Structure 1
Amino acid sequence: MKIASIIDNQLAAPHGNRKGLSYGQLAVLLLTYIVSEADHRICCLETWVSEHQRSLKAITEWEIREKEATDDRCGDLLRIIGLTEALPQMEMSLSQHLVKAYELPTSQARSDTTSFSVYHQISEDVEEESLIKFGYSKDKRPDLRQYRQMLATLDPLGMPLLGATLAGNGGDESEYLPTWRKMREILGHREFLYLADSKASTWSNRAKIQGEGGIYCFPLAMTQPRPKLLADWVKNPPTEVIKIVEKADAELRGSLGDYPHQADEGESEDLEIGKGFEVPLGNIWVEPETEKRYQWEERWLVLKSNALASRQIKGLESRLAKGEEALLSLQKRPGKDEKRLEQKIQEIVKSYRLTKYVEYSIDRNISYKKVYKGRGSRSEDSSYRRVRQINLILNYQRLSTEIESFKTVAGWRLYVTNATSERLSLTEAVQAYKQQWQPEMGFHRFKKGRLSALPIYFRDEKKIKGLMFLLTIALRVFTLMEFVVRRQLHQSQSSLARLYSGNPKRTTKRPTAEKMLRAFNNITLYIHRDDSIEISGLNLVQQKILRLMNVEESIYTTDYFASG
């Protein structure tokens, strides 16, 4: 991957009093630790290097001294990476090299953002310039400050092309056009299909990508009047509706990264996964600042996913059942305070998102109760007074018309593209968006997986940016491992077994990097008292993984370590 040389070409050498590894070599050492130990704490690197010093020297052929990987040196590395203006150039060089070295397909790419919640307290004098701010939290922690991370990936393997650490309070809309421009520079052409979420579908983004010769496909944000437009089109399609089918061949679905249907042996029927139609429309947009006029043709794709429709309908039925159960409990004990009852109803309706699907009313039943004066037995002549009592009655019912309208448009989405039908058919558009999990998989690894950045231990935001840069490189390692192995398995029509704990016979054609790394946990280098060495032998699974990765088994032999 040429990580060390690319970093060293962009970063100045450490100051004259610091001897030993270069910044690029230290970055490789830290990355090796992160990938091997699933831990980004730089304070632990020194001990790990000391324990594996002989192995690391043999592998790298570097002179790795005792204090080479202290947390001070690693902290300086992260800060300099986060501080340098050459960070985008390093990202670009890494991606361009990998695309060429591994002959990666460059016809389709996508980008997305997420937020990382932290517990940092920011002083008022630096808050304005800080990356760590309050903003819309995708972690559902609005009480915490956060920073955002953008990730652009290359289909079909999901390899990161570039990443960027952004302020926590910004909007994503303005990030997609600059990201596309950088991806165009990395890939060296603009014919790739650019995919992103609905926040990318602003008029300005679409107009400028079109104006600069790009190809895009975005889901449209469902702001008014688009929901009504979608409902009208679904009820009365203006063009022919076609079925969208997926080949039942499991290997084809595997290459797309999705397994919606498990085909039995010998099954050859195609699976209908949805339907759709398209509406050609012309667009005009005028840039407010320059009054430049953009005019172009688009295709509005109206697509239904059967799986999504089923999930949405089941979700509504579940919310209705739970909401009505809560309302029934409230109906049995409405209390005496009408305002308090109204508040509780609103909380239930809002919690289960039933505002459009349930209506309710509160009736007051007024009665007068006799309250006798004094104590003792009562007679007809006993004096009493009447006390006015108000009993609250809660009534509620489903809004059948709204529920049926929801079911009619369930699973339907509006997409917009400037690609021709030859470049992107309706079926290909559905398949493309079924792979939207690719950036999300990277975010999962950054948050809860083996490459987790959380919790963040740094206060220095430059170090945070440096760490996220290195984690993005580590994610490249994982995705390249998976791509190379899966490609080899597909070409050889074989699979891998013994990767799943407790189920050694289970096989897979799509092994994850995590499982392949875990398969090498039991290899040990023995150093005897006479300084001779011995390495535990490789089992069949380890040997097969190395062959699939085009890595020589000799790296696990004593001859290799002796020569190193």
Structure 2
Amino acid sequence: MEISSERIDDIPLIVEWLKQMEIAKCIDQKLKEPHGNHKGLSYGKLSVLLLTYIITQSDHRLSAVEPWVEAHRKILELSTGWSIGEKDASDDRLARVVEELGKQSEARQEIEVKLGRHLIRAYELLTVVARADTSSFSVNHQQGQSPEESLLRYGYSKDFRPDLLQYRQLLATLDPMGMPLVCATLEGNGADDPLYFPTWQKMAKVIGHKKFVFIADCKASAIATRAQIAANGGVYCFPVSMSGQHPQYLKQWVLNPPLQTWSIRLPRQDEEEPAVGKGFEVELGKFWLNEETNKWVRWHERYLVVYSQSLAASAIRGQQQRILTARTALDKLAAKPGEDRGELTQKVENIKKRYRVNDFFSTTIIEETLVTTRNCRRGRPSKNSPTESVTSICLQLHIQQIDDAIQLSETLAGWRLYVTNAPITRLTLPQAVIYYRDEWLLERGFHRFKRGSLPALPIYFQNQDRITGLMFILNIALRVFTLMEFVVRLALEQTQQSLAGLYDGNPKRKTNRPSAERMLQAFCHLTLYSLSNSTIFITPRTDLQKQILSLMKMPESLYQLPFGVLQDIITSDPAQVSTL
């Protein structure tokens, strides 16, 4: 009897997640229908096939999807219930789907809103805290003919590759799982400041209310952003940038605290452990003129003046090392100052700028003119030998360390300013610090895009609409990962259990915060066997796989096919398999 085999691994599980998230339905309802001659699967169904490939293979190359679908056709058809044609998953059709998702911006935003509302309602997600940030993605493309209209441009690179073209990705997520709700692919050289208020508006539309705390980095603390969010009934909490009047505020409040200082402790911290920091609040009234409406916006803000012991110790160590290195370089320069005053001045300024010690050293260059007598002839001079006067310039570099400035900087080290318009009953000082300490939740999504299991790089698309569409697909895949982790971790917390067997080489190691990547990896080596008499068998599931399915609230029937002789292989003995 002939037996054919097909690896199924985590494919049924991923397809079921995509079904429950209603990905195909959302895309088909909002995306414009293809032309009349289009045959085969719809855009939504093709997106599900592409997402399944990306999640299982950690690869977004469209050319590799068609052979992968051909190798897993039976399990894909059984899991989805669709009849997949021979050319349905060709790179041309998938490229058309990706391009349409990137081209139809209104439909893309409607998909985000519909999908986000469905997930919040279906999984009863908390909508208390949301955060946003941007990151750059460098590519090895060549500059196009019209760079001002292209998505790929030269700009400030967070990857430290200013020589490469790049595009930026905005990501807005929902705590505590870091699930994306809003994403946008932007040109590579724009400013981030104008993005945060429109992002807040989109988040409020998806979430359905404006009472969530919006958290972002200091680029969001522009007065215009804060005023517009406050005027529209929103709540924010941002660290302020050290520009304008903020350095003077910080210096004045730290040296002369206007209020009592309170200790800051983490929620799970023991009472015997020292506090992680301290701080106090200062309330100020703010106003801003909206130039579009020519109306003043007035609101009250709380400045949170926060001190971190670990941050202060790290800053002081770094500052001392920079001062020592700069002093060594300046002393070396003073030993051989040269004769060009302008060149010496430039070298001193470069050293101060490189080590950021401009306020810690006072340098003075003294120029002396020396006149010496030199013999005009060669050999030993005699009494009547002719001589000439030679004038030379001698430079001296005097270095003085400013101890008062160094002491002041060490006093201010570890202090940060945060600003919020939330009342103290809505957001306390320790809560604001804890919320900002969880900024890694959002960064984890960027890590998955750059060096993780959902890689966007290297990217091979030249069409900017396809780049935008691909990033939208990857953001949907990120939603799958974050929801998996949220559901499983919540179930483990409620039952006070841990999950063991996820780590190779250490099967007894337990965790109550398993990652989606490790849970999907646990379904490797599951195989579907087809006999010539249409009988189908599946490799038996392990206890770990059954436990993960139970924690995910997934039915065990995912790996029990609904037709034929439905039973699992009891043993892996080839002799027994051949007799089935």
1:525-554 C-alpha deviation (Å, 9 max, x unpaired): 455677655444434433332222122334
Match of residue 201 from structure 1: 221
Superposition map of 1:192-341 within 5 A:
192-249=212-269, 269=272, 271-331=274-334, 334=337, 337-341=340-344
- Residue 209 (structure 2) pairs with residue 189 (structure 1): yes
Offset at residue 25 of structure 1 (A): 0.7
Between the aligned partners of 2:394 and 2:534, the Cα distance in structure 1 is 90
Whether 1:52 and 2:72 are equivalent positions in the alignment is: yes
Which range moved further: 348-357 or 35-44? 348-357
State the distance in 1 between where 2:408 and 2:397 align. 26
Give 1 or 2 for the bigger CA radius of gyration.
2
Aligned to 1:95: 116
Q: Which has the higher contact order (CA 8 A, sep 6+)?
A: 2
Residue pairs, 1:114-129, within 5 angstroms: 114-124=135-145, 126-129=146-149
- Equivalent runs, 1:499-538 vs 2, <5 Å: 499-527=502-530, 533-538=536-541
Q: Distance in 1 between matches of 2:405 and 2:348?
A: 19
Q: Which whole-Å CA distance do the structure 1 matches of 2:564 and 2:334 have between them?
A: 76
Contact 1:247 1:270 in 2 (8 A): no
Given residue 362 of structure 2, which amino acid in structure 1 is its aligned partner?
E
Contact map agreement 1:81 1:466 (CA 8 A) in 2? yes
Match of 1:434 in 2: 437
Residue 554 of structure 1 contacts residue 560 of structure 1 at CA under 8 Å; is this kept in 2?
no
SS where residue 298 of structure 2 aligns? strand
Does 2:43 match 1:40?
Answer: no
Give the superposition deviation at 1:101: 0.8
**Would you say how many aligned residue pairs link Structure 1 and Structure 2?**
546
Is 1:482 the counterpart of 2:485 in the alignment? yes
Alpha carbons of structure 1 residues 91 and 394: separation in structure 2 relative to 1, 3 Å: same
CA distance in 1, matches of 2:564, 2:179: 32
Alignment partners' CA distance in 2, 1:465 and 1:326 = 48
Maintained 8 Å contact 2:144/2:150: no
- Bigger shift: 499-508 or 206-215? 499-508
C-alpha spacing 1:379/1:178, structure 2 compared with 1 (3 Å): same
Look up the match of 1:5. 25
Percent identity for Structure 1 against Structure 2: 49
Distance 1:385 1:505 in 2: 91
Which stretch has the larger CA shift, 317-326 or 371-380?
Answer: 371-380
Is the CA contact 1:117–1:146 (under 8 Å) kept in the aligned structure 2? Answer: yes
Secondary structure (helix, strand or coil) at the match of 1:278 reads: strand
Q: Any stretches of 5+ residues in structure 2 without a counterpart? A: 1-20, 568-580
Matches within 5 A, 1:462-501: 462-501=465-504
Distance 1:285 1:55, change over 3 A: same
Letter in 2 for 1:138: K
Deviation string 1:435-469 (CA, Å, 9 cap, x unpaired) is: 12222221222222211212221111111111111
Counterpart position of 2:129: 108
Task: For residue 407 of structure 1, report the CA deviation from its aligned partner.
Answer: 1.7
Give the CA deviation at 1:100: 0.6
CA distance in 2, matches of 1:48, 1:370: 89
Q: CA deviation at 1:227?
A: 0.1
* TM-score, normalising length: structure 2: 0.86
DSSP-derived class of the 2:276 partner:
strand
Deviation by residue 1:337-385 (Cα, 9 ceiling, x = unmatched): 5544443433333222222233334455766788667777788998876
- Contact in 1 for aligned 2:535/2:564 (Cα 8 Å): no
Deviation for aligned residue 1:62? 1.3
**Is 2:58–2:455's contact at 8 Å kept on the other side of the alignment?**
yes
Distance 1:2 1:194 in 2: 27
Give the C-alpha shift of residue 96 in structure 1: 0.4
Gaps of 5+ in 1: 250-266
Work out whether residues 537 and 566 of structure 2, in 8 Å CA contact, stay in contact via their aligned partners in 1.
Answer: no
Q: Distance in 2 between matches of 1:277 and 1:149?
A: 35
Cα RMSD for the two superposed structures: 2.8
Residues 236 and 422, structure 2, Cα contact 8 Å, conserved in 1: yes
Aligned pairs (5 A) from 1:417-432: 417-432=420-435
| 1:115-145 alpha-carbon deviations (Å, 9 max, x no partner) | 2223333444x43332223333333333333
Matching residue's letter, 1:245: R
2: CA distance between counterparts of 1:379 and 1:247? 91
Say if 1:340 and 1:480 are closer, same or farther in 2 by CA, change over 3 A: same
Deviation (angstroms), 1:166: 1.9
Q: What amino acid is the match of 1:98?
A: L
Cα gap change, 1:395 to 1:61, in 2 (>3 Å): farther
Q: C-alpha separation between the residues in 1 aligned to 2:181 and 2:192? A: 18
Q: Per-residue CA shift, 1:195-215, capped at 9, x if unaligned?
A: 122222233322222222221
